């Protein structure tokens, strides 16, 4: 029965961690974003995140977006720098043209840092990207 379930491969949807200036608090904050670099909208986007290591696990954070338009992005969450010592995973499920897609994006421990910055698609920003 499990073999009958086909979940297509996710392409052109990314998760990025960006360090950006917060004008309100005059600080540099780390924020996680989901990026839809497709030419179609994503519907009912569910994101489940947590951090973990051998002996630590963070609480689970859930976010739902009813719609993520084509060629757009949305903020998932503010991230504390202490979390970067953990593996941070983002489980993303969404519908595209009435088909369900699912992918887990993993930022391995200590890989979120300014040395790993690259250009982020659709955003005028640099950060750490997982495809």
pLDDT over 70 at 23, yes or no: yes
Residue owning tokens 């392409």: 11
Instruction: With CA atoms as reference, report the closest residue to 112 among 94, 77, 86, 78.
Output: 86
Tens digit of pLDDT for each residue in 67-100?
999 999 999 999 999 999 999 999 999 999 999 9
Quick one: pLDDT at residue 2? 60
pTM over 0.85: yes
If you average pLDDT over residues 26-50, what whole number do you get?
Answer: 97
Q: Give the rounded percent of residues in the chain with a pLDDT score beyond 70.
A: 98
- Mean residue pLDDT of the chain comes to 95
């Amino acid at each position: 029965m499990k073999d009958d379930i086909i979940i297509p491969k996710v392409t052109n949807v990314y998760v990025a961690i960006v360090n950006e200036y917060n004008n309100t608090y005059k600080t540099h904050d780390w924020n996680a974003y989901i990026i839809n670099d497709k030419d179609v909208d994503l519907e009912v986007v569910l994101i489940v995140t947590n951090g973990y290591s051998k002996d630590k696990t963070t609480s689970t954070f859930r976010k739902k977006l009813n719609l993520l338009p084509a060629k757009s992005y949305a903020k998932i969450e503010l991230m504390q720098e202490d979390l970067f010592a953990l593996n941070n995973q983002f489980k993303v499920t969404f519908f595209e043209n009435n088909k369900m897609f699912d992918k887990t994006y993993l930022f391995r421990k200590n890989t979120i840092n300014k040395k790993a910055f690259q250009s982020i698609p659709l955003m005028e920003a640099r950060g750490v990207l997982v495809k």
